Amino acid sequence: MNMNTRFLMSLSATFFAILGIGFTFLPQEILAHVGVLSDGAVVLLMQILGALCLGFAMLNWMNRGSHIGGIYGRPVSMPNFFNSVIGGAALVKWVFTDQFAPEIAVMALFYSLFAVWFGLVVFTHPANKTQVRSDK
């Protein structure tokens, strides 16, 4: 299986950077847009979430040229996999509530795609790719 992890890492870094910048610098506006009352504690939690997203963005951007699959890439691929699976499950669950918001559905889609893609990276051995072998 041939997966371009450089593209995956660049795409996820960009996605998490956009989320991180928004959550860090525009928490009241985002909360108001989705209809949530923005008191002090919720704004603080949004900014902490923004910091976490920016941290993932930096991790992924700085490792986009590294070999992510296999045993040496696990410290990068496994946290991305867990973040995507757990975040995606929570977002998908929210999409099917009566408080549907299109922005949440888009986030759920991206998180789910990253969950599948990072799952392939984590659970597929890089040596299982088709290789031309010479027995001479």
pLDDT tens digits, 41-66: 999 999 999 999 999 999 999 999 88
pLDDT tens digits, 122-136: 988 766 555 544 554
Residue 120 has pLDDT above 70, yes or no: yes
- Six-digit token pair at 11? 């795409």
Q: Are 10 and 123 in contact (CB under 8 A)?
A: no
What CA–CA distances, in Å, run from 130 to 2, 66, 133? 8, 20, 9
Q: Minimal CA–CA distance to 18: which of 28, 26, 29, 7?
A: 26
pLDDT band at 3 (very low <50, low <70, confident <90, very high): low
Rounded to an integer, the average pLDDT of 69-94 is: 92
Output the CA torsion 19→7→4→122 (10° steps). Answer: -20
AA identity, residue 5: T
Does this model's pTM top 0.95? My answer is no
